[in-house]
Amino acid sequence: MRPLPTMQRRHAALWSVAGHGAVIALLTLVGTRVGPPSFESPLIIGELITATLEPAATPAATPSEPVADRAEEPAPTPPEPQTAEQEPAPRPLRPDPEPDPAPPEERTVEPPLEPPPLERLAELPPLDAESVAELPEVPEPLAAEGLPAADAPAVIPEEPVRSLASHEQRAVRRRLSSWTGQLDADELAQTLAWRDAGQDYTAVFKHVPATDAMGMEQLLVELTTQRDGQRLVAQLRMNRIAFSNFAQFIDRWDPQVQIHDDLIDGRFHSNTEIRVSREHGVQPVFNGKVTVAAGDVRDDGVGFVNRRTMFPEGIETRVRRISLPSRAAAFDDGAVPADRVRRIAADSLLTFQADGTFESRFLADGAAAEAGALGEEPFYIVADEGVDLHVRGTVNGKVLVYSPEHIVIVDDVRYSANPWTEGADDYLGLVAERSVEIGEPELTGSGDLTIHASIYARNRFAVRDYRSRRSGTLVVYGSVTAGSISATEPRFSTRIEFDDRLTTMRAPGFPLSNRYELDSFNGEWRVVDAP
């Protein structure tokens, strides 16, 4: 990511003045026209649920949360002509996946043998006693307890199954693909009702809390409707999104920053418009679904920007905003055993060791402050108000590092176990109410900087002295969530690769959003009341 060039900033200012003037003139000309608009506002599932679950008085939508709906897929863009200056997109950090196994060979089913005609049976010679003795014995019918008798009628399932029609399944998925809201812990369930294509539907939400500090909360949804005198029920499951479910999540994109020489390998979301740039054959690549709450993506730079190669998994605009919580801390001190929490009282350097231990030293004089072992259970290192933490080392355990101020990464932060291997169970969360920053070049040294962690910077994720000479690549294996983000170039190009384990797990106490997304739905009705 790099800062917006000076000339583009000047042009942007001039265009902004000219654009505002044109808008004012246009409004003056059409000010006397009246009449309803010719379009319908997109329907928001969140608004429907709010209207059902809350009192009738609903506040008007604010400009900070634009109405969202699924945007249409962008039209295919012709492939960009290859030039000598173009470079292939960087490969993801993880090893190449194993090739899919070959499809199983088709099995030929032989047709059943036809019985011989009756006239041929009459020609067969009679069996003698010796031939009869050689025949295999026919087993007696099983008479085990609980098994039906041979002449018992076939058992009919009590709950027949009917498949949803394709249009009905699309409508249900559209209604319940996401849900924004909070469930009252004192209520066992909450209900949403709606009508679509003349059919009434009712969804009952039941909250399933996470089993531990690293688990994911869920909603079990029982969907019911009536058809042809039958009561039909379908089961769905929704997961509450942790912010670490995104490879990168940005609340407010800094308009002075362009995504340039960057690879984002995983899901990306921004609540505002983002700026992408191509120059000298270099452009960013998003190897994951991209969602933007704003109208579109701003293309800057020289040459043609090929969106099909930039967004191979597609881009969806005008989606629903996902708000950051007012406070990042997502764990309850009272619910955590005292021996699993270590508090830091002054600005300190925190160093993790590969053997599962850690130590902190005061930045002021280098004196030892705290030391301990992470152990097998989740561990929390918490800075007091006004305290900054500097972090480095090798993490062997499951730990959340939290500061109400700033966290500064001063050297590589890696997991002891290779995170790509099966059974790897090291997790690190770096959570700061203000900022998470990359230290100055004299602290981090030259070359690449590697970070294995889920990062949450409530205010800003920043690279200090990003205008210094080229150092290497900033590699984040995990996730980055930030209120906004600074430029990283020319000091670093950026590669963010999502840790697939974060799909179902999270660092201890890592912040959660108020968004639930559909996880599973088999598209079948169970008939529970038949005529």
CA distances from residue 380 to 400, 480, 504 in whole angstroms, order as listed: 5, 19, 20
How far is C-alpha 416 from the chain's CA centre?
Answer: 25
Q: What is the pLDDT of residues 54-104, one digit of tens each?
A: 444 444 444 444 433 434 444 444 444 444 444 444 444 454 445 545 444
* Residue 307 confidence (pLDDT): 78
Given this model, what pLDDT does residue 332 score? 66
Percentages of the chain per state (helix, strand, coil), in multiples of 5: 15, 35, 50
Q: What is the pLDDT of residue 159?
A: 55
In the predicted model, what is the mean pLDDT of residues 430-434? 96
Query: pTM here?
Result: 0.69
Query: Which of 522, 384, 408 has the alpha carbon at shortest distance from 464?
Result: 408
Question: In whole angstroms, what is the distance from residue 105 CA to residue 225 CA?
Answer: 43
Look at the chain and count its residues.
531
Rg of the chain (C-alpha set):
31
Q: What is the model's pLDDT at position 89?
A: 46
Task: Give the model confidence (pLDDT) of 449-490 as tens digits.
Answer: 999 999 999 999 999 999 988 889 999 999 999 999 999 988
Query: What is the pLDDT at residue 358?
Result: 96
DSSP state of 3: E
Q: How confident is the model at residue 147 (pLDDT cuts 50, 70, 90)?
A: very low
Distance from chain centroid for Cα 383: 28
**Rounded distance, CA 146 to CA 411, Å?**
67
> What pLDDT sits at residue 282?
79
pLDDT of residue 362: 93
Cβ neighbours, 10 Å, residue 280: 13
154 or 380: whose pLDDT is higher?
Answer: 380
Residue 192 has pLDDT above 80, yes or no: yes
Host H or E run for residue 28: helix 6-30
Which H/E stretch holds residue 7?
Answer: helix 6-30
Q: What is the mean pLDDT of the chain?
A: 75
Q: How far apart are CA 68 and CA 269, in angstroms?
A: 14
Q: For residues 122 and 481, which has the higher predicted lDDT (pLDDT)?
A: 481
| Mean pLDDT to the nearest integer, 45-52 | 39
Give the residue, 72 or 411, on which the prediction is more confident: 411
pLDDT at 272: 93
H or E element at residue 231: strand 230-242
Q: What is the mean pLDDT of residues 478-505?
A: 93
Q: Return d(Cα 24, Cα 33) in angstroms, integer.
A: 15
243 phi and psi angles, rounded to 5 deg? -65, -20
Distance CA 33, CA 28 (A): 10
